[in-house]
Amino acid sequence: MTTTGRCAPATDALVFDYLLRLADSDIVLAQRLGEWVGKGPVLEEDIAQTNVGLDLLGQGRLWLAYAGEVEARIAPRGRDENELAFLRDGSEYRNLLLVEQPNGSYADTLARQFLYDHWHLLALDALTCSRDERIAAIAAKAVKEVRYHVERSSGWIVRLGDGTEQSHERMQRAIDALWMYTGEMFAADATEEALAAAGIAAGVTLLREPWRKAVGGVLADATLALPADGWMQGAHGRGGRQGAHSEHLGHLLAVMQSLPRSMPDARW
């Protein structure tokens, strides 16, 4: 890191990888939320949830644009946001396993959102202090949006957890089923450890306790049980951030990338 806010060339490759991690979780979750549009339980929710999807898409684009610029420092050329989004295969995607999980019922969708939002807020909050000025600036913009995401998804967890017997049961099942994907969010691999040590990336291991506290508090208000930690998918050095995904990502990308890939000469 230099005083001009530019990383040393040796870390550029790591930063590129890290930016894809931030971008891909946003893009993949926005894609999932896009599947809901027009089919929500009530019109107000269609609007609110689409807003969240639009925020994530916007944030993902900012991360991808910067990733392309960083890539240009280490490769003959940097790819633009669309090349990065539409022409990478699943194994090159760096998103968390949690966000690629299918929408399921509204409880499943909200549980996924809730678990991610709380992590996302903490991670972005830490990144506002990144020694990479661009990362800090993007995080500062995004964190304002994500504060609202946390408020919305937490509100729904409480509403559905402490709603009817049926909604309580569905919400608990949804949280339980997704819990095994939460460990990955706090497991730093060599890339993140190096970047965190350099003051560039968020130190995710430090986020675990504040996350548990925040999530646990909402679950308690919702009369829902905090699941016990069991084996965590992707948390042992081989998960979404290393390009090892669940079966679901391939289908998501097949849909999302179909048009640009079928007409490679076209501009849209």
Partner 1 sequence: MYAQMVDTGQSRLAGLAELSPEERAFQSRIDADVKIEPRDDMPEAYRRTLIRQIQQHAHSEVVGMLPEGNWITRAPSLQRKATLMAKVQDEAGHGLYLYCAAETLGVSRDRMIEDLHAGKVRYSSIFNYPTLTWADIGTIGWLVDGAAIMNQIPLCRCSFGPYARAMIRVCKEESFHQRQGFDILMTLCRGTAAQKAMAQDALDRWWWPSLMMFGPPDAESVHSAQSARWKIKLLSNDELRQRFVDQTVPQADYLGLTMPDPELRWNDARGHYDFGEIDWQEFHEVLKGHGPCNHDRMATRIKAWEDGAWVREAALAHAAKRAARQREAA
Shortest separation between residue 214's beta carbon and partner 1, angstroms = 20
Token pair, residue 35, equals: 């599947």
User: Please, which residue, 42 or 190, has the CB nearer to partner 1?
Assistant: 42
CA distance 3 to 62: 23
Shortest separation between residue 106's beta carbon and partner 1, angstroms = 5
User: Please, which residue, 64 or 218, has the CB nearer to partner 1?
Assistant: 64
Is the CB of residue 94 less than 8 Å from the CB of residue 20? yes
Write out the DSSP string of 100-127: HS---SHHHHHHHHHHHHHHHHHHHHHH
CA distance 219 to 114: 10
Residue given tokens 């971008």 in the structure block:
23
User: Please, which residue, 53 or 240, has the CB nearer to partner 1?
Assistant: 53
Shortest separation between residue 177's beta carbon and partner 1, angstroms = 17
Within 10 angstroms of residue 219's Cβ, the number of other Cβ atoms is 21
User: Please, which residue, 21 or 185, has the CB nearer to partner 1?
Assistant: 21
Is the CB of residue 49 less than 8 Å from the CB of residue 36? yes
Distance of CA 206 to the CA centre of its chain: 18
Q: Name the DSSP letter for residue 207.
A: G
Is the CB of residue 186 less than 8 Å from the CB of residue 211? yes
Q: Name the DSSP letter for residue 241.
A: G
Shortest separation between residue 128's beta carbon and partner 1, angstroms = 24
Is the CB of residue 128 less than 8 Å from the CB of residue 148? no
User: Please, which residue, 55 or 125, has the CB nearer to partner 1?
Assistant: 55
Shortest separation between residue 104's beta carbon and partner 1, angstroms = 11
What number of CA atoms fall less than 13 Å from residue 267's CA on the CB side? 1
User: Please, which residue, 128 or 257, has the CB nearer to partner 1?
Assistant: 257
Contacts of 197 (CB under 8 A, 6+ apart): none
User: Please, which residue, 9 or 38, has the CB nearer to partner 1?
Assistant: 38
Shortest separation between residue 211's beta carbon and partner 1, angstroms = 24
Can you give the binding site for partner 1, defined by CB under 8 A? Answer: 27, 30-31, 34-35, 37-47, 50-51, 53-54, 57-58, 60-61, 64, 81-82, 85-86, 105-106, 158-160, 162-164, 166-167, 170, 255-256, 258-260, 263, 265-268
Shortest separation between residue 169's beta carbon and partner 1, angstroms = 10
Report the run of H or E that residue 19 belongs to, with start and end: helix 9-36
